[in-house]
């Protein structure tokens, strides 16, 4: 009985020690769990294919934590709430953005956090919220997953149309076209020498055309020079015409002055002057005649005595 009692005491002691060790481990783990991580939340509209509890969280490509929890938003069933536990030394800013990424097309999925500037405020829990919320964006992987069914449908339509294009009738038409092209190529090969002659003639005609165009350019230059000469002659003629007009105007003014002289008092005075001049000439003629008859008359007077009645 004593030996059995010792075994019971030893067993009880071992059980108590195990329970104490388990409680200690749980307490230490809980303490470290609370102290070693910071928690944030982000929201995704639509499927979050590839995300699960424990999915790696990276910040600018560096592992900083894990996905802690996935849950539906009760206010909007289409939206998924993702809780993140990250390195407590990492301070996320309000302009940080979360997205679902993948290492290649078939690689592992992870949650990437990008952005964030030093001048922007830190992300803090809003009043009434347990965790700070960072915005999210649709990644190329999500876009591909969302547009996958539509892409497959489009591929099916394209394949059906391609099959319609390659039906028996169209294949026969394509074969006939290729046969015609083969015949045309053979015909061209048979007349290759004639084509060379045609090309040579075309080259010669082109050279002649170039010479003709050059001569035409020279003729055009000569015509431009002649036109310039004509323009100069026209300008000279205009100058001569202006001079003639000026002369005509001067002659007109002279004619007007002559008309004024003829029609004015000058004519009367000129007539009187001519009469007086004529009388003077008559007197001079008479005096000359007297001097010829009696040269001494000018000195001694008229010595002839006429008959004096008694």
The model's pLDDT over 198-248, given as tens digits with 9 standing for 90+, comes to: 888 888 888 888 888 888 888 888 878 878 887 787 787 677 767 767 776
| For range 266-292, the mean pLDDT | 73
Domain ranges (residues) in the chain: 34-138, 148-190, 192-243
pLDDT surpassing 50 at residue 175: yes
3-state helix, strand and coil shares in percent for the chain, rounded to the nearest 5: 60, 15, 25
| For range 110-138, the mean pLDDT | 88
Q: List 113's β-bridge partners, or say none.
A: 59, 98
Give the integer Cα–Cα distance in Å for 83 and 63: 16
pLDDT at position 245 is 72
CB 127 within 8 A of CB 110: no
Q: What is the pTM of this model?
A: 0.40
Nearest to 98 by CA among 56, 127, 38: 56
What's the Cα-to-Cα distance from 126 to each of 94, 133, 191, 301, rounded to whole Å? 12, 8, 87, 160
């Amino acid at each position: 009985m004593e030996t059995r009692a010792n075994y019971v005491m030893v067993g009880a002691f071992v059980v108590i020690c195990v329970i104490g060790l388990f409680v200690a481990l749980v307490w230490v783990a809980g303490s470290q769990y609370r102290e070693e991580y910071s928690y944030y939340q982000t929201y995704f509209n639509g499927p979050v294919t590839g995300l699960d509890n424990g999915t790696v969280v990276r910040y600018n490509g560096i592992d900083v934590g894990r996905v802690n929890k996935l849950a539906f938003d009760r206010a909007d069933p289409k939206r998924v709430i993702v809780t993140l536990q990250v390195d407590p030394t990492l301070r996320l800013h309000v302009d940080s953005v979360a997205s679902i990424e993948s290492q290649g097309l078939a690689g592992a999925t992870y949650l990437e956090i990008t952005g964030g500037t030093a001048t922007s405020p830190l992300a803090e829990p809003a009043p009434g919220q347990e965790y700070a919320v960072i915005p999210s964006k649709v990644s190329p992987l999500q876009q591909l997953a969302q547009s996958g069914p539509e892409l497959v449908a489009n591929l099916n339509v394209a394949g059906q149309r391609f099959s319609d294009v390659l039906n028996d009738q169209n294949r026969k038409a394509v074969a006939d076209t290729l046969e015609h092209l083969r015949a045309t190529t053979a015909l061209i090969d048979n007349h290759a020498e004639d084509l060379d002659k045609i090309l040579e003639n075309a080259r010669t005609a082109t050279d002649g055309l170039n010479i003709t165009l050059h001569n035409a350019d020279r003729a055009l230059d000569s015509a431009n020079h002649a036109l310039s000469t004509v323009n100069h002659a026209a300008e000279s003629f205009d100058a001569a015409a202006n001079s003639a007009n000026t002369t005509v105007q001067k002659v007109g003014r002279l004619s007007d002055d002559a008309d004024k002289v003829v029609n004015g008092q000058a004519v009367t005075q000129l007539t009187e002057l001519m009469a007086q001049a004529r009388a003077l000439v008559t007197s001079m003629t008479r005096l000359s005649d007297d001097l010829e008859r009696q040269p001494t008359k000018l000195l001694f007077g008229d010595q002839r005595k006429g008959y004096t009645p008694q």
